[in-house]
């Protein structure tokens, strides 16, 4: 073969040296002769192709099916390679070798040789399907995971030229994994398992709703059972995710969900529960079964629309795929137990979710409303009731906000001091006057004499002037403080964190110091630790310093 190519090159080179003419002559020709090997001529047909054609015309082939004839011819041509590219097109609804002309056959085997070497080029789509048929029947590769990987790799590369191949190749990959009982993880990406699992989530929620709804709340015209919001946030999130997965309207991508996710979550789940009860009492089928059908077994044709010849009866087997689909072969007949809805999103469910989004926006006065699209009256009324129930529940369970105006505390203390002065009897009033400044901590720090005057009104104090220590008795007994309470106050003044639970001690100290300060002396911070109120630190320190 190499000598023929060298001879052709030698003749062409000699023609170039003579000015483009192959032979010396007085006549002038407009075209040069085209030199080629005999195998490149249109009339040439390689011997393996002749044998393949002869096999198709043999007496034994008359009793074969088209699929078996294809496989027998493919085994004969398994290792054949050609070098005659085909520039034309080949189109066939059921492409096989017999459907090709001799020229198309040579072009196919030339293209197949390049594919096997790693160069996948665009060609007639029917050529690509013939190559996949070969791989499905184990031609050119070892049946099993290696053949599965070869089909998958070729399809993913060639789908850039022909995306419509997805419609056929994905089911073939699933069937191939089931037929050869491969790891289910290989087929799950092409089995639309997410769709089936989402339907299973809706079916479980529907069953739970019907089982937990009292009998008096299921029929039409009966008292409606109110949904308990927020009892199982994880289940509600799973339900909303399943609804979003199965619906043509993606509610979790909507603007309202980004701004008020909790409102959308609670109302959407409540509407689903209400629809489940409505369909149970008013329709012949349940909600989920009316949207997606029911899982059941049906006869299954392996490798539908492909050229496949099994060669014998497949042994009985059961193949589980993703807990949502099961293939079973019994006596050579395959069945598939699964949902048979095609795995498409539900437009009817999309209408429900859009109506929820629209009516909830209207109820919340959301600045970006949605237009009404003629939703059924029963659906509009149902959603309106659920929105009303939820907003009423939300208002009833709203956290109470308590705001304290610290600027008014000084006035409150002053008023309390005036009230206390008015309640004193004459004997108590003779012990010394109680000036209004005693109620103001800032006045206490600015005028020690005034603080001393106020301290004169405590038990054991006499007259205005500097505070005098309490004579005799246990330290703190004059104002009712115990040993543990004094220890807690000393720790707080020193900035130390007390150990153990101090709730009861804090309450007791605040109660005993209230007459002195007219306010709470110790508060709990955000971390739960007690701390002295900053305004009364000096007062407490003065009390601790004057105690014996």
**What is the signed CA dihedral for 236, 237, 241, 242, rounded to 10 degrees?**
-30
Nearest to 99 by CA among 120, 76, 129, 79: 129
429 token code pair: 């009033």
Nearest to 187 by CA among 398, 40, 336, 383: 336
77 token code pair: 């041509």
Rounded to an integer, what distance in angstroms lies between the CA atom of residue 165 and that of residue 306? 12
Rounded to an integer, what distance in angstroms lies between the CA atom of residue 307 and that of residue 291? 34
Q: Give me the helix-helix angle, 537-546 and 448-455, nearest 10°.
A: 60
Bridge partner list, 298: 336
- CB 308, CB 319: distance < 8 Å: no
What is the torsional sign of CA 13, 14, 15, 20?
positive
Cα angle for residues 2, 7, 12 (degrees, 5° grid) = 125
207 token code pair: 């069953």
- CB 191, CB 173: distance < 8 Å: no
- CB 109, CB 77: distance < 8 Å: yes
- CB 456, CB 481: distance < 8 Å: no
- pLDDT digit string (tens) for the chain, length 548 residues: 556 667 677 776 766 666 555 444 555 555 555 555 555 555 679 999 999 999 999 999 999 999 999 999 999 999 999 999 999 999 999 999 999 999 999 999 999 999 999 999 999 999 999 999 999 999 999 999 999 999 999 999 999 999 999 999 999 999 999 999 999 999 999 998 899 999 999 999 999 999 987 665 555 444 456 678 888 899 999 999 999 999 999 999 999 999 999 999 999 999 999 999 999 988 889 999 999 999 899 999 999 999 999 989 999 999 999 888 999 999 999 999 999 888 899 999 999 999 999 999 999 999 999 999 899 999 999 999 999 999 999 998 887 776 777 667 767 877 887 787 777 766 665 555 555 444 444 433 443 433 343 333 333 333 333 333 333 334 445 567 888 888 888 888 888 878 777 778 888 888 888 777 777 888 877 777 888 888 888 888 887 776 55
pLDDT at 230: 81
Nearest to 247 by CA among 227, 230, 268: 268
140 dihedral zone (left: phi>0; alpha: psi -120 to 50; beta): left
Rounded to an integer, what distance in angstroms lies between the CA atom of residue 92 and that of residue 282? 51
Q: How many CA atoms lie within 13 A of 284 on its CB side?
A: 1
The ranges assigned to domains in the chain are 2-35, 47-183, 193-293+345-395, 414-468, 472-548
143 token code pair: 């049946």
479 token code pair: 């104002």
271 dihedral zone (left: phi>0; alpha: psi -120 to 50; beta): alpha
Cα 473 to chain center, whole Å? 71
Rounded to an integer, what distance in angstroms lies between the CA atom of residue 162 and that of residue 123? 10
pLDDT at 282: 87
pLDDT at 299: 96
379 token code pair: 């659906």
SS3 string of 197-209?
Answer: HHHHHHHHHHHHH
Q: Give me the helix-helix angle, 503-517 and 483-493, nearest 10°.
A: 80
Is the model's pTM score more than 0.85? no
- CB 144, CB 177: distance < 8 Å: no
Cα 435 to chain center, whole Å? 69
pLDDT at 453: 36
Rounded to an integer, what distance in angstroms lies between the CA atom of residue 176 and that of residue 191? 12
- Other Cβ atoms less than 10 A from the Cβ of 452: the count is 21
pLDDT at 320: 94
B/e letters for 127-143, b = 16+ CB within 10 Å, e = fewer, are: bbbbbbbbbbbbbbbee
Rounded to an integer, what distance in angstroms lies between the CA atom of residue 28 and that of residue 369? 84
Rounded to an integer, what distance in angstroms lies between the CA atom of residue 177 and that of residue 372? 47
- Other Cβ atoms less than 10 A from the Cβ of 293: the count is 14
Rounded to an integer, what distance in angstroms lies between the CA atom of residue 211 and that of residue 209? 5
- CB 536, CB 517: distance < 8 Å: yes
Residue 461 φ/ψ, nearest 5 degrees: -100, 150
pLDDT at 445: 43
Q: In a 3-state reduction of DSSP, which class is residue 139?
A: coil
């Amino acid at each position: 073969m190499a000598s023929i190519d060298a001879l052709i090159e030698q003749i062409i080179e000699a023609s170039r040296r003579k000015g483009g003419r192959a032979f010396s002559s007085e006549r002038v020709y407009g075209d040069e002769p085209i030199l080629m090997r005999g195998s490149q001529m249109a009339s040439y047909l390689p011997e393996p192709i002749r044998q393949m054609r002869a096999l198709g015309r043999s007496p034994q082939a008359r009793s074969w099916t088209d699929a078996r004839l294809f496989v027998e011819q493919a085994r004969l041509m398994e290792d054949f390679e050609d070098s005659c590219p085909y520039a034309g097109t080949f189109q066939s609804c059921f492409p096989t070798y017999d459907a090709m002309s001799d020229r198309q056959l040579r072009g196919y085997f030339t293209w197949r040789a390049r594919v096997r070497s790693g160069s996948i080029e665009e060609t007639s789509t029917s050529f690509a399907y013939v190559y996949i048929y070969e791989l499905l029947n184990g031609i050119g590769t070892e049946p099993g995971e290696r053949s599965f990987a070869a089909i998958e790799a070729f399809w993913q590369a060639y789908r850039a030229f022909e995306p419509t191949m997805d419609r056929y190749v994905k089911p073939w990959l699933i069937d191939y994994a089931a037929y050869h009982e491969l790891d289910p993880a290989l087929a799950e990406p092409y089995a639309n398992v997410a769709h089936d699992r989402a339907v299973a989530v809706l079916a479980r929620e529907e069953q739970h709703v019907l089982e937990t709804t009292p009998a008096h709340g299921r029929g039409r015209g009966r008292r409606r059972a109110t949904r308990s919001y927020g009892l199982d946030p994880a289940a509600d999130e799973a339900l909303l995710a399943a609804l979003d997965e199965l619906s043509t309207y993606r509610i979790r991508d909507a603007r309202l969900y980004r701004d008020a996710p909790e409102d959308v979550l609670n109302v959407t789940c409540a509407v689903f529960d209400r629809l489940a009860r409505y369909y149970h009492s008013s329709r012949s089928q349940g909600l989920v079964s009316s949207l997606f059908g029911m899982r059941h077994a049906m006869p299954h044709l392996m490798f539908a629309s492909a050229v496949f010849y099994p060669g014998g009866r497949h042994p009985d087997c059961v193949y589980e795929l993703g807990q949502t689909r099961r293939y079973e072969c019994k006596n050579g007949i395959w069945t598939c137990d699964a949902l048979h809805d095609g795995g498409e999103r539900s437009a009817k469910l999309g209408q429900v979710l859009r109506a929820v989004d629209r009516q909830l926006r209207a109820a919340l006065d959301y600045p970006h409303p949605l237009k009404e699209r003629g939703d059924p009256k029963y659906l509009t009324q149902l959603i309106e009731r659920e929105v009303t129930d939820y907003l009423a529940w939300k208002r009833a369970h709203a956290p109470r906000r308590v705001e304290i105006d610290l600027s008014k505390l000084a006035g409150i203390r002053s008023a309390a001091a005036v009230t206390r002065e008015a309640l004193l009897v004459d004997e108590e009033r003779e012990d010394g006057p109680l000036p209004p400044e005693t109620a103001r901590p800032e006045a206490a720090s600015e005028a020690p004499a005034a603080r001393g005057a106020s301290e004169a009104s405590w038990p054991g104090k006499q007259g205005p002037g500097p505070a005098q220590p309490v004579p005799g008795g246990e330290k703190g007994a004059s104002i009712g403080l115990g040993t543990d309470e004094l220890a807690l106050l000393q720790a707080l003044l020193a900035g130390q964190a007390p150990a153990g639970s101090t709730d009861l001690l804090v309450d007791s100290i605040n109660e005993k110091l209230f007459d002195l300060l007219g306010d709470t002396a110790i508060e709990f911070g955000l971390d739960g630790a007690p701390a002295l109120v900053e305004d009364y630190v000096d007062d407490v320190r003065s009390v601790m310093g004057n105690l014996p």
